[in-house]
Amino acid sequence: MLDTVRGLRHLVGLGNSAPSALPTVFHVTHHKAGSQWINRIFHALTYERMVMPEVENVQFLGKPIVQGAVYPTVYVTREQFDSVAVPKDSRRFVVVRDIRDTLVSLYFSLRYTHPVLHERIQNRRSALAELSPEDGLVYLIETQLTGIAQFQWSWANAREELIRYEDLLERDEEILARVLLRKCRLGVDPGRFHEVVAANRFEARTGGRKPGQEDLGSHERKGVAGDWRNHFTEKVTKAFKRLYGSVLIATGYEKDFNW
């Protein structure tokens, strides 16, 4: 661990004690909100500064923060973030997704494409295989969405700027230029930035498949917002509203329960 930190400090121009000219950057988000999309952009633009994600966010919650580094896919609530000592000039940005679309994406990922990294994933896949899509969605509502809901609640209640995945789908370069180049001072060439953003769009990643054209066997399944409408039956909607309807209001996706 110590050798890794020293090596990273050297790469970002820190030596052992000198302050970095570049801020430490944290990409804070939740599962199924384009986290790997942004992660790939970081890989292409600033790989030498990255601290790679670890299971249970150990790289953030359990190890010293490396000044001047870039931390992608940090899955933590506001309270968890505040419990960690971060460098003074740190920058963060928080990305969320409509939790209804998050649910649908989670269903198809667990059902078909997510790598079986541990026994829990296999157990969930086996459970979903025994259920209809409708009952599978209800099962996930009741067992798997709590952590994502807590994440969204915590950052919304803190009145943090929430960058919407849906807006990124429509205006990725505009939003990411503001966030990464100006707010986070990533320190990369704007021309290279443009190339990398374009190379990581849905069509480029899927060999020309248009957003909305579904491939159940691909991690980039559909690439559109609002797909929940195609899967929410009355039963699913009732179960969702009961547990998470207020989250949609807190995050600004709905004004009330009448949707």
Of 230, 164, 169, residue with least CA distance to 203: 169
The predicted pLDDT at position 206 comes to: 59
State the pTM of this model.
0.85
* Positive or negative torsion for Cα 93, 116, 153, 53: negative
Mean pLDDT (the chain) is 87
What per-residue confidence (pLDDT) applies to 16? Answer: 33
Least confident of 94-98, 129-133, 207-211: 207-211
Selection from 103, 84, 80 nearest residue 24 by Cα: 84
Q: How far apart are CA 71 and CA 194, in angstroms?
A: 21
CA separation for the pair 231, 228 (Å, rounded):
5
Counting every residue written for the chain, the total comes to 259
- Render pLDDT for 157-185 as a digit per residue (tens, 0 to 9): 999 999 999 999 999 999 999 999 999 99
> What pLDDT sits at residue 121?
86
- Check if the beta carbon of residue 11 is closer than 8 Å to that of residue 49: yes
Structure confidence at residue 113 (pLDDT): 76
CB 168 within 8 A of CB 180: no
Average pLDDT over residues 121-146: 94
Q: Could you report the per-residue pLDDT of 10-61, keeping only the tens digit for each?
A: 444 333 333 358 999 999 999 999 999 999 999 999 999 999 999 999 999 9
Question: What pLDDT sits at residue 207?
Answer: 55
Digit-coded pLDDT (tens) for 67-107: 999 999 999 999 999 999 999 999 999 999 999 999 999 99
Whether 95 and 37 have beta carbons less than 8 Å apart is answered as no
Count CB neighbours of 58 within 10 A: 10
Predicted local confidence at residue 155, as pLDDT: 98
Query: Does residue 218 have a pLDDT over 70?
Result: no
Instruction: State how far the Cα of 204 lies from the Cα of 208, in Å rounded to an integer.
Output: 6
Structure tokens at 23: 């801020």
pLDDT at 128 over 70: yes
114-146 b/e (C-beta count within 10 Å ≥ 16 → b): eeeeeeeeeebeebbeeeeeeebbbbbbeeebe
Q: How far apart are CA 49 and CA 161, in angstroms?
A: 25
Q: pLDDT-based confidence at 226, cuts 50/70/90?
A: very high
Region 219-236: mean pLDDT is 82
Q: From start to end of 41-165, where are the E strands? A: 70-74, 91-96, 162-164
Residue 163 contacts residue 175 (beta carbons within 8 Å): yes
